[in-house]
A and B are shown apart, each in its own frame.
Chain A
C-alpha cells in the first residue's frame, strides 16, 4: 500500500529589515502573542531590558557582542507553532555588511517578511532585501509596513509605499507580493486585526502566515536524487542513500545515473521506517536497483525522460561572501548537491547594483556584492537551472586556502556545450527594433524564469559567417531541443513568413512586456 503524500505543515520564513525598523519587535510579538515565549525567557529579557518598554529584540539577539552593540549580528532561528502550522523563522540582520546572512536565511525560506518603516518609506536596505528574495526565488514576499501608529494610521502613506514597492519589485521575479500595515510595538495587525485601520480589510501577519500556501518542496517536478552514500551491510544488499531533492520515485521505475548514463530499474525505495513504497520530495530514502551498476557519492539519479543538464561551463548569479574579493582565474572548490569539483570564475559578466538594478562592468566582486559570472568546473556537474529547482540549481564556492564558503551561486544558464537536452519547451522569438540593452534584459528575464536561452544578434551571427536566414534555421534547431531562441532583428527586415513569435518595439515598450508575451507563448 502506498502511503498518502504528507502535507507540508512547516512554513520557513526569513525576515529582513533595516536597523530600527522593528523587525525583532515583530518577531518578539509573534512569539509572545502566540504564547511561544516561555515565562522564564520573558522574565530574563525583562531583567536585562532597561527602561519601561520591554525590549523583545533580546529574545533573538543572544550573543554577547549583539547585546553589547544592540544589533543583530548573525542569523538566529526561532520556532513557534499555532494550531494550524509550525513556523521556523530565520531572523537575519539588516546591516549592509551582513548581506551574506540575508542570503543564507532566504536560501531555505518559503516566505520572506520585509519590514518597512512607514515614516521613512522604502530605504535602499528594503530594496536590497527584495532583490535578494527575488534572486533566491523565495516564493512569497510580504511587506510589513511598520510603525503605522506614528503616521496616524494614514491609508495614503501605506498605499504610496505599496505602489512604490510594487513598481520596484516587478522585474525581480517575486511570484507573490503582499502588503500588511502594522504596528509591531502596539501589536496592530500582528496577531489580531487592528481596529485602528478600518480601511484595511486583509489578514493580520499571523493570519497570513497561517493560511498562505507553502510552495517549498515540490513532488510534482522532475525526480532528482543526489546520492549521499552507499549502504552495504552484506553482499546481498546495495542501497543508495539520499534525500529526494524534487519529484517522486516509485518501485519499478527506470532511473539513470547522470555521471555514467547507465540505467536500471528501482527495486525498492526504503524510507526511514524501513517500509518500501514511494519517495517524495524532501524524504530521506535508500534506493535499491535491479542491476549492479556503478553508483557512488556525488552521483545524481533521475528519470531518463526528465533530463538534467550535464555541463562543465555555465553562468550563475553569485552573492560574494568572502572577505577577499573574487579573483577571476583563481581556483575555488565548487560544492553542489553531494559533489565537489575544482572550478574557476572565467569572467564577471556584470555586477548588479542591488538598489537600482543597474548592471555595471566589473573585473571582480567584493564582499556582499552580487553579480553574474561564468564558471568553468574541472569535471561535468549535474544541474538544473535555479529558476526550475532551488536545490539542484544552487552551489557554493569555497576558498581552498581557508575552507570558508566565499560565494552562493544560482545557475542561470548552462552552456550549449552541454551534452543534454532540457525537457522544457523551446521557441523562436523575433524581436524587431529593440535597443541592445532591452534585448539583454529580455534574455535575462527569460533565462531567469528557468528556460535555456540564447540571444542571436546580427553582430553575433555575422561573426560566424551566418546570414539571417541561416541563423534562423540554426535557431529553430535549438528551439526544437528546448531552447528559447531570441533573434534580434534591429531593422525589422524579416517578414511574417519566417514564422515564430514576433514582437516589435512599436507594440511593446519594455523588456518586461516582451517577457510576458514570451511566457504566454511558451505556456500556450
Chain B
C-alpha cells in the first residue's frame, strides 16, 4: 500500500506565475552581488520572500530582508515579521525613519497625522547605499496602479535612486538586463504579472500563514474622506470626528497613517478570496497616500519610493 501525500495543486495560471517569479528571482542572484528583499510585512512582500526561499531550496535564501520602519507600525506587523523571517531562515535588517528624525536629518511633516511616506523614501535610499545593495527586490504588481502598469521587471535606478519613466529600458522575451554603472541600482519586481486575487489564491494554495490584520476583526476606526483609519497613537480623531467600532480587515498593510481598513466579515483566506471576487474597488483605494493627486504614485516612484 502506497501512502499518497496530497499536495495542494496550483492551477495552471498560478503555476506559471510562480515559475516566472522564481525565474526572475534567480536572475537577480545570477546577475547581482548584493541583492536585498524589500520587506514591509504586507502580503506582496510576504509572497515575494516566500517565493525567494523556494527559488533556492534546499539551500538557504541568499538575500537579507530589509524593513524600513516608519515607526507608525501596527504591532502585529512587527511580531509577524520576526516570526516569518525565522521560519524562512532569513536575516532581517531594520532601518528606522525615527532614527533619522532623531539625528536631525529628517523633519516630520507639519500638521496632524503627518505621513512618513516621503521620509520613508529617504530612509530607504540611505539604507540601500549603506548596505551597498545593487538590487532591491520588491513585491509591487502592475495591476495595482497606472504608473506601476508601466514598470519593468528589472527597473533601473540612477545613482540618486531616481526612476525615469520616459527612458525605461526595453525588456524583451525573458532576457532581463541588469547591467549598470557603479552607484546605480535596480528595483526588481518578480510579481509584476500577479493580481491581488492571484496573491490570495497563492497564499491559500501554498498555505502561507498571514498577519491577522488581513482578516476580519472588530476595531475602533475613524472615517475620513471615505477611508477607515484605525484609531492608533498616530491616527487619532480630529475635532468633529468620531470613533466607530466596526468589523474590518486591511487589504494592504503599511504605515498606519496611510493604510485604511475596509468593512469586512472575511475571517479566513477562503472568505477573503470570495470577497475579492465580489469587490468592485481596487486595494489602492484604501491608501491615503495615493489620493493626494492623479499622478501621486508616479511622482513618488520617480523619487525612489518602493
Residues of A near any B CB (own CB < 8 A)? 1, 3, 6-10, 35, 38-41, 44, 48, 59-65, 67, 73-79, 86, 88, 100-101, 103-104, 107-108, 228-229, 231-233, 237, 241-243, 270, 272-275, 282-284, 286, 297, 321, 333, 335-336, 338, 390-391, 394-396, 398, 400, 403-405, 408
B residues near A242, Cβ cutoff 8 Å: 26
A284 touches B177 (CB 8 A): no
A424 to chain B, nearest CB (A): 22
Residue B30 CB within 8 A of the other chain: yes
Known pairs A39-B280, A86-B13; A405 contacts B170 (CB<8 A): yes
Q: Name the distance in Å between B164's Cβ and chain A's nearest Cβ.
A: 11
Q: Determine the main DSSP class of B at the interface with A.
A: loop
A62–B169 CB distance below 8 A: no
The reply to whether B179 and A403 form a contact with Cβ atoms under 8 Å apart is yes
Q: Which 5 A-B pairs have the closest CB atoms?
A: A62-B146, A233-B59, A284-B22, A403-B179, A284-B19
Given the known A-B contacts A77-B149, A228-B27, A321-B170, are A6 and B59 also in contact in the complex, defined by CB atoms under 8 Å?
A: no
Contacts A398-B179, A408-B172 given; does A272 touch B54 at CB 8 Å: yes
Q: Provided the pairs A228-B30, A405-B170 are in contact, do residues A335 and B177 lie with their beta carbons within 8 angstroms?
A: yes
Which residue of B16, B282, B299 contacts A40 across the interface (Cβ within 8 Å)?
B282
**Given the interface contacts A231-B59, A394-B173, A403-B179, does A60 sit within 8 Å of B149 by beta carbon?**
yes
Report yes or no: B12 in contact with A9, Cβ–Cβ below 8 A.
yes
Could you mark each residue 141-180 of chain B with 1 if its beta carbon is under 8 Å from any beta carbon of chain A, else 0? 0110111011000000000000001101111111101011
Residues of the A chain whose Cβ atoms lie less than 8 Å from the Cβ of B10: 6
* Complexed CA–CA distance, A286 and B20 (Å): 14
Contact, CB under 8 Å: A107 / B16? no
A519 to chain B, nearest CB (A): 26
Given A228-B30, A274-B57, A48–B15 Cβ distance below 8 Å? no
Cα(A61)–Cα(B22), bound, Å: 29
Cβ contacts A to B, 30 pairs, < 8 Å: A8-B12, A9-B16, A40-B282, A40-B285, A59-B146, A63-B165, A63-B298, A67-B295, A73-B166, A74-B150, A78-B143, A79-B142, A79-B195, A88-B193, A101-B170, A229-B29, A229-B30, A231-B56, A231-B59, A233-B60, A241-B26, A243-B22, A272-B18, A284-B22, A336-B175, A394-B172, A394-B175, A395-B175, A398-B177, A408-B172
B1 beta carbon closer than 8 Å to chain A: no
Q: B177, A62: Cβ atoms under 8 Å?
A: no
Cα separation A283 to B21 with both chains bound (whole Å): 11
Known contacts A76-B150, A243-B23: A62-B193 contact under CB 8 Å: no
Minimal Cβ-Cβ distance residue in B for A297: B30
B121 CB to closest chain A CB, in angstroms?
18
What is the CA–CA distance of A62 and B146 in the complex, to the nearest angstrom? 5
Q: Does B222 contact A (CB under 8 A)?
A: no
By a beta-carbon cutoff of 8 Å, the part of chain B in contact with chain A is: 4, 7, 9-13, 15-16, 18-20, 22-23, 26-27, 29-30, 54-60, 142-143, 145-147, 149-150, 165-166, 168-175, 177, 179-181, 192-193, 195, 279-282, 285, 294-295, 298-299
A335 touches B175 (CB 8 A): yes
Complex contacts, B16 vs chain A, CB 8 Å: 8-10, 282
Residues on A with C-beta less than 8 A from B150 are 62-63, 74-76
- How long is the Cα–Cα vector from A1 to B166 in the complex, in angstroms? 50
Pair B298/A74 contact, Cβ less than 8 Å = no
**CB <8 Å contact, A9 and B11:** yes
A1 to B11, CA, bound (A): 18
Instruction: Known A241-B26, A243-B23, A272-B54; judge A107-B295 contact (CB<8 A).
Output: no
In the assembly, what is the distance between CA of A128 and CA of B26, in Å? 36
Q: Which residue of A lies closest to B5 (CB)?
A: A275
**B59–A104 CB distance below 8 A:** no
Interface of A is mostly: mixed
B172 touches A104 (CB 8 A): yes
Whether B279 and A77, one on each chain, are in contact in the complex, defined by CB atoms closer than 8 angstroms, is no
Distance in angstroms from A132 CB to nearest chain B CB is 12
**Known A41-B282, A78-B143, A229-B26; further 7 A-B contacts with Cβ < 8 A:** A63-B150, A77-B192, A107-B173, A228-B26, A394-B175, A403-B179, A403-B180
Is there contact, CB below 8 Å, between A1 and B4? yes
Determine the chain B residues whose CB is within 8 A of the CB of A73 once the complex forms.
166
A240 to B58, CA, bound (A): 12
Whether A62 touches B170, Cβ cut-off 8 Å, given contacts A38-B281, A41-B282, A88-B193, is: no
How far does the alpha carbon of A101 sit from the alpha carbon of B172 in the complex, in Å?
A: 9
> Is there an interface contact between A275 and B181, defined as CB atoms closer than 8 Å?
no
Closest to A335 in B: B175
Neighbouring A residues of B26 by C-beta, 8 Å: 228-229, 241-242, 284
A9, A65, A233, A237: the one within 8 Å of B166 (CB): A65
CA distance A8 to B11 in the complex (A): 9
With a CB–CB cut-off of 8 A, which chain A residues contact B165?
A: 63, 65, 74
- Which residues of chain A are within 8 angstroms of B168 by Cβ–Cβ distance? 74
Q: Which residue of A lies closest to B21 (CB)?
A: A284
Residue from A38, A77, A78, A232 in contact with B282 in the complex, judged by beta carbons closer than 8 Å: A38
- Report which of A60, A107, A237, A404 forms a contact with B169, defined as CB distance below 8 A: A404
Is B177 a contact of A272 with CB atoms below 8 Å? Answer: no
Complex Cα spacing A312 to B181, Å: 28
Question: Which of B23, B169, B170, B281 has the largest count of A CB atoms less than 10 A from its CB?
Answer: B170
Once the chains are docked, how many angstroms separate the CA of A67 from the CA of B298? 12
Determine the distance from Cα of A88 to Cα of B165 in the docked complex, in whole angstroms: 21
| Complex Cα gap A405–B176 (Å) | 10
Q: Chain A: which residue is nearest B178 at the CB level?
A: A403
How far apart are B169's CB and chain A's nearest CB, in angstroms?
6
Q: How far is the CA of A471 from the CA of B59 in the complex (A)?
A: 57
A39-B283 Cα distance, complex, nearest whole Å: 11
- Asked whether B146 lies within 8 Å of A233 as measured between CB atoms, the reply is no
Knowing A104-B170, A333-B179, say if A79 contacts B281 (CB, 8 Å): no
A123 to B145, CA, bound (A): 33
How far is B7's CA from A267's CA once the two chains are assembled, in angstroms? 22
- Contact A100/B192 with A48-B294, A282-B19 known, Cβ cut-off 8 Å: no
Name the contact of A396 in the complex, choosing from B29, B166, B172 (C-beta under 8 A). B172
Give the Cβ gap from A39 to chain B, nearest Cβ, in Å.
4
CA gap between A282 and B14 in the complex, in Å: 12
Among A48, A79, A232, A297, the one with the most B-chain Cβ atoms within 10 Å of its Cβ is: A79
Inside 8 A of A7's CB, which chain B residues have their CB? 12
Q: Taking the nearest CB of chain B, how far is it from the CB of A202, in angstroms?
A: 27
Contact (A338, B30) CB under 8 Å given A62-B147, A103-B172, A405-B169: yes
A224 smallest CB distance to B (angstroms): 12
Shortest Cβ distance from B156 into A: residue: A403
By a CB distance below 8 angstroms, the chain B residues around A390 are 173
The chain B residue sitting closest to A72, CB to CB, is B150
Determine the chain A residues whose CB is within 8 A of the CB of B22 once the complex forms. Answer: 243, 272, 284
- Decide if B146 touches A60 in the complex (CB within 8 Å): yes
Kindly state the separation between the CA atoms of A78 and B295 in the bound complex, as whole angstroms. 18
Complex Cα spacing A9 to B173, Å: 19
| In the complex, chain A residues whose CB is within 8 Å of the CB of B166 | 63, 65, 73-74
- How far, in Å, is B175 (CB) from chain A's closest CB? 5
Considering the complex, give the chain A residue whose CB is closest to the CB of B26: A228
Give A392's nearest chain B residue, CB to CB.
B173
CB distance from B273 to the nearest CB of A (A): 14
Q: Which residue of A lies closest to B299 (CB)?
A: A64
B177 contact from A3, A86, A228, A403, Cβ within 8 A: A403
